[in-house]
């Protein structure tokens, strides 16, 4: 379901209009699964007029199938734009594409693509668009999948960078992998404007959930809607799932306890949509792990107790630290866990809570027991809401991107041994960034700890400290004394 993303839609339409005027702008839409990336891109496609092919790369198994699917979608959209009637279901083979390409007078180019390589595909598309007098925005969903094809990024960048008739809107759910694709060491650095999708703000969450419930004839209280936002963090898919559950339960007037019950049922019952979503993310993330059972065991250990060091995890697995380190490196790439100050945590606290509880086999019938429900609510508050990770991967990346735009400094995550920083950039000087995304101001102790770590690692550096909730008076004094540049959401226009 599409929810209103006015600002993001404006960015996409602006980029498309720029292409039409001769200025190419590529856009990368990044965020966790089911946050609304595909819906946003498809809404843009629906609203815009022109050649806008769409391809989900999760459905592509090989480079050969990519070349065919890419060509098919390009020709299909061109045919529609040129009023050449064709059904996508009729384009099943290369022969079908050649018949259509002859109608469009681009059969020579398509024959070359059929017998050629990835380079041929990207080279011929500009000629195809030239002959048909069209410009195109190609939407490539789940773009991180191209990492399965050796040399794909280098080839695509080398050939398409100078092309004037096509731009790309890419999206990805593997946030860390997308960040790597767009990093300074890779071909696409500086080639894409980034949009980071997060949960809806409280006002939009309340408006959305209220509209859904009222449409079903269900009354509610403002307090209950505020709780719904707090539990779901504004994730559109979670909001919709909880609202559906509330409607199905047949409550005449929804109160806070009803929201708690509906949310926990969606989360912990096998019939729940949130349960199914988290199970899919969990299994999909581990699907490429050679040592799948051991990776799952590590996650179960962290679900019971977060903040463990490598040595502690290795001891519980009864395996050498070097071996366990390799397992953890894989998990870090999946976005399931993150590492801070040498300790490992779940990136998504809700995933941690779900994993810990579902492996205990809690049933929907048990969720109706008042005492168990109260115990789960209390634990949910402590392990998910209050202990939520200070900053998610997407938000942390968004702060770095804002700083790159405003200061021209390209911060990248930094790790050497047990030393980690949220962002470090090397140039004429060393630049170091610390980010705190929590509901209390940064303290003097936070500043002193950061400064000490920077000086121990680099000696001297230009230091930036971003705090979502500002700084205490003593923290401000410490920043002034140590030369730390203070940043808040207002400075970077983030929320």
What does the pLDDT read at residue 389?
A: 43
Report the DSSP pairing between strands 136-141 and 192-196.
unpaired
Give the model confidence (pLDDT) of 341-373 as tens digits.
788 988 888 888 888 887 656 555 555 666 666
Q: Taking Cα atoms as reference points, which of 2, 332, 16 lies closest to residue 197?
A: 2
Contact 291, 347 (CB under 8 A): no
What does the pLDDT read at residue 391?
A: 45
The matching CATH number, chosen from 3.20.20.70, 3.90.550.10, 1.10.10.10, 1.10.1040.10, for 276-359 is 1.10.10.10
> How far is it, in rounded angstroms, from Cα 14 to Cα 398?
20
Q: Is the alpha carbon torsion for 259, 263, 266, 268 positive or negative?
A: negative
Contact 27, 141 (CB under 8 A): no
* Lowest pLDDT segment from 202-216, 236-250, 286-300: 286-300
364-369's contacts with Cβ under 8 Å and 24+ in sequence apart are 364/265, 364/269, 364/270, 364/271, 367/261, 367/264, 367/265, 367/268, 367/269, 368/261
**pLDDT of 390 strictly over 50:** no
202-268 and 276-359: same fold?
no
Burial state string for 71-94 with b = 16 or more CB within 10 A and e = fewer than 16: bbbbbbbbbebeeeebeeeebeeb
The matching CATH number, chosen from 2.160.10.10, 1.10.1050.10, 3.40.1350.10, 3.30.420.40, for 394-491 is 3.40.1350.10
Tell me how many helices (H) and strands (E) the chain has. 23, 15
List, in order, residues 6 or more apart from 173 with CB less than 8 Å away: 31, 32, 33, 37, 142, 144
What does the pLDDT read at residue 43?
A: 93
Q: What is the pTM of this model?
A: 0.73
Question: In the predicted model, what is the mean pLDDT of residues 184-194?
Answer: 82
Other CB atoms within 10 Å distance of the CB of residue 363: 10
So where are the chain's domains? 6-196, 202-268, 276-359, 394-491
The matching CATH number, chosen from 3.30.70, 1.25.40, 1.10.8, 3.40.1050, for 202-268 is 1.10.8
Q: Taking Cα atoms as reference points, which of 488, 475, 324, 320 lies closest to residue 399?
A: 488
pLDDT band of residue 55 (cuts 50, 70, 90) is very high
Q: What percent of the chain has pLDDT over 70?
A: 92
Question: In the predicted model, what is the mean pLDDT of residues 270-290?
Answer: 86
Question: In the predicted model, what is the mean pLDDT of residues 28-48?
Answer: 91
The angle subtended at Cα 399 by Cα 474 and Cα 332, nearest 5°, is 105
* Lowest pLDDT segment from 16-20, 44-48, 119-123, 422-426: 422-426
For residue 99, CA distances in Å to 70, 76, 322, 461 come to 16, 12, 57, 63
Report the run of H or E that residue 401 belongs to, with start and end.
Answer: helix 393-407
**pLDDT of 376 strictly over 90:** no
Question: In the predicted model, what is the mean pLDDT of residues 181-204?
Answer: 83
List, in order, residues 6 or more apart from 217 with CB less than 8 Å away: none
What does the pLDDT read at residue 392?
A: 55
List, in order, residues 6 or more apart from 161 with CB less than 8 Å away: 191
Give the model confidence (pLDDT) of 216-241 as tens digits.
988 899 999 999 998 998 899 999 99
pLDDT band of residue 198 (cuts 50, 70, 90) is confident
For residue 296, CA distances in Å to 428, 432, 476 come to 44, 34, 43
For the 6-196 domain, the top CATH level (class) is alpha beta
Question: In the predicted model, what is the mean pLDDT of residues 148-172?
Answer: 93
What does the pLDDT read at residue 360?
A: 54
């Amino acid at each position: 379901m599409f929810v209103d993303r006015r600002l993001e839609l404006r960015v996409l339409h602006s980029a498309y209009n720029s292409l039409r005027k001769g200025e190419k702008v590529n856009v990368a839409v990044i965020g966790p699964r089911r946050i609304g990336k595909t819906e946003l891109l498809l809404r843009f496609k629906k609203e815009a007029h022109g050649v806008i092919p769409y391809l989900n790369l999760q459905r592509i198994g090989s480079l050969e199938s990519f070349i065919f699917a890419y060509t098919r979608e390009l020709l299909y959209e061109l045919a529609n734009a040129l009023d050449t009637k064709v059904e996508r279901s009729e384009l099943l083979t290369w022969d079908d594409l050649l018949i259509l390409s002859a109608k469009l007078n681009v059969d020579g180019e398509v024959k070359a693509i059929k017998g050629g390589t990835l380079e041929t595909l990207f080279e011929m598309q500009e000629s195809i668009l030239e002959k048909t007098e069209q410009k195109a925005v190609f939407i490539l969903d789940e773009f991180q999948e191209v990492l399965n094809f050796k040399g794909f990024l280098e080839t695509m960048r080398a050939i398409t960078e100078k092309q004037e008739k096509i731009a790309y809107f890419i999206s990805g759910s593997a946030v860390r992998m997308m960040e790597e694709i767009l990093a300074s060491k890779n071909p696409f650095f500086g080639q894409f404007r980034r949009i980071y999708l997060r949960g809806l703000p409280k006002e939009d969450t309340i408006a959305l959930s209220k509209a859904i419930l009222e449409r079903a004839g269900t009354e509610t209280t403002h307090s209950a809607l505020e709780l719904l936002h707090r539990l779901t963090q504004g994730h559109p898919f979670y909001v919709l799932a909880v609202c559906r559950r509330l409607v199905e339960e047949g409550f005449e007037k929804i109160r806070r306890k009803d929201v708690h019950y509906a949310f926990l049922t969606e989360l912990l019952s096998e019939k729940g949509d949130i349960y199914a979503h988290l199970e899919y993310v969990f299994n999909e993330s581990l699907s490429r792990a050679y040592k799948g059972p051991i990776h799952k065991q590590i996650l179960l250990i962290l679900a019971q107790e977060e903040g463990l060091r490598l040595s502690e995890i290795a001891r519980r697995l009864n395996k050498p630290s070097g071996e366990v380190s390799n397992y953890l490196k894989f998990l870090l790439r999946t976005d399931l866990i993150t590492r801070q100050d040498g300790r490992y945590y779940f990136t998504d606290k809700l995933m941690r809570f779900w994993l810990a509880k579902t492996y205990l086999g809690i049933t929907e019938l048990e969720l109706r027991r008042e005492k168990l429900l109260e115990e789960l609510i209390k634990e949910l508050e402590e392990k998910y809401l209050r202990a939520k990770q200070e900053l998610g991967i997407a938000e942390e990346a968004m702060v770095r991107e804002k700083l790159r735009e405003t200061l021209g400094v390209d911060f990248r995550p930094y790790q050497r041994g047990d030393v980690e920083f949220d962002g470090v950039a090397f140039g004429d000087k060393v630049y170091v960034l610390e980010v705190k995304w929590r509901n209390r101001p940064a303290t003097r102790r936070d500043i002193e700890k950061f400064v000490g770590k920077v000086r121990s690692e680099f000696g001297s550096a230009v230091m930036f400290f971003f705090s979502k909730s500002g700084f205490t008076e003593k923290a401000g004094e410490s920043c002034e004394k140590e030369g730390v540049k203070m940043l808040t959401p207002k400075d970077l226009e983030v929320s």
